[in-house]
Chains A and B, each alone.
Chain A
Amino acid sequence: MERIKAIEIISTQLEDELVICNIGFPSRELYAVRDSSAHFYMLGSMGMASSIGLGLALAQKRKVVVFDGDGSLLMNLGSLVTIFSQSPENFILVVLDNECYGSTGSQCTYASNVDLSRVAEAVGFKKIFSFKDNIDFSEVLNTKGPVFVHVKVEPGNADVPVIDMEPEEIKTRFRENL
């Protein structure tokens, strides 16, 4: 499955959830598929998606969905330990795993050697979903968090434009939504 397809399937099932989306093409693809004031698009700070989502989940009650990647999760693996230890029920971490750094030219990550679901399992996550060809996200949404969702996707980026919003506009719109 292409990553943009996975993003489309998941994001169209969201209603009241808040979304933190990873830097680079994932944010551009989400923005192209479906924009919402409940979306926070990262434009920098690679690796921080799961952390931003954790802080947001701890700060308020609405459910938080994070679109993270394999490369960025590997950059901040300690985040899994903190998420598990804080254990927010309203937190869903979706790792779109294409086994490469997609936004910089598809250089390989170690996710081809290491199963990230098993890393999450070893940390202690109890609710782990793994998808490849089909994504049933309604079950994920009905599961008490923290939830780890591992989606294997193909390398490559969709031909989508850059996000034509200023960072401050993304922030202000998101905060006003709450």
Chain B
Amino acid sequence: MDSSQAVFKGLKKAGIDFVVSLPCVNLDKILEMVEDDPDIIHVPVTREEEGFGISAGAYLGGKKTAILMQNSGLGNSVNVLASLYKLYQLPILMIMSHRGTEGEFMSAQIPMGEATPGVLDALEIAYFLPKTPDEAFKLIPEAWLMAEMAGSPLAMLFEVKFWEF
């Protein structure tokens, strides 16, 4: 099981049936798997903030929701996470490619990469850091349950090294 398969199988095991996405080079294979799955509604969006809005509506409509995104998109989603998700206690699973971490080849990714955990902390959004495909597969369903029980977004940060598996 490679890293992409592990994340996708974890999402399936969690019962996720509604996914919004923006791409990252590391999410490429997962995006294809999500798009091809007949039981998942997949909505590519123009901006992460918009994706969070769409997912909130889908959750109100009874869906189990996740967003596939690069950590850079966290920056333009801060208000929707606070004044929609935190305010109304809505869950969502945030599958984030965490760029700017060990092994990053692009210096431009480093500032937002370093800021990402602090932004999540400021929003009081808990996050997991799975290091291997096995860990990811095990943690994703648990993370969704925690998000649903807590009525809060929950993030999974997948660092650059994770995608080497």
List the one stretch of A108-116, A124-132, A155-163, A170-178 in contact with chain B.
A170-178
A78 to B51: give the CA distance in the assembly, Å. 11
Pairwise interchain contact A40-B60, C-beta atoms closer than 8 A: yes
Q: How many contacts between A and B, using CB within 8 angstroms?
A: 118
A119 at the interface (CB under 8 A from B): no
Pairwise interchain contact A171-B88, C-beta atoms closer than 8 A: yes
Kindly list chain A residues whose C-beta atoms are within 8 Å of the C-beta of B51: 51
Pairwise interchain contact B88-A168, C-beta atoms closer than 8 A: yes
A53 to B59: give the CA distance in the assembly, Å. 11
A103 at the interface (CB under 8 A from B): no
| A interface: dominant SS | helix
Give 10 closest A-B pairs by Cβ, nearest first.
A44-B83, A55-B57, A51-B53, A59-B61, A78-B46, A48-B53, A56-B57, A45-B84, A55-B54, A55-B58
Pairwise interchain contact A82-B60, C-beta atoms closer than 8 A: no
| B interface: dominant SS | helix
Pairwise interchain contact B88-A52, C-beta atoms closer than 8 A: no
The B25-63 residues at the A interface (CB cut-off 8 A) are 41, 43-47, 49-63
Which residue on B lies nearest to A81, using beta carbons?
A: B46
Q: A173 to chain B: closest CB distance in Å?
A: 11
A144 to B152: give the CA distance in the assembly, Å. 35
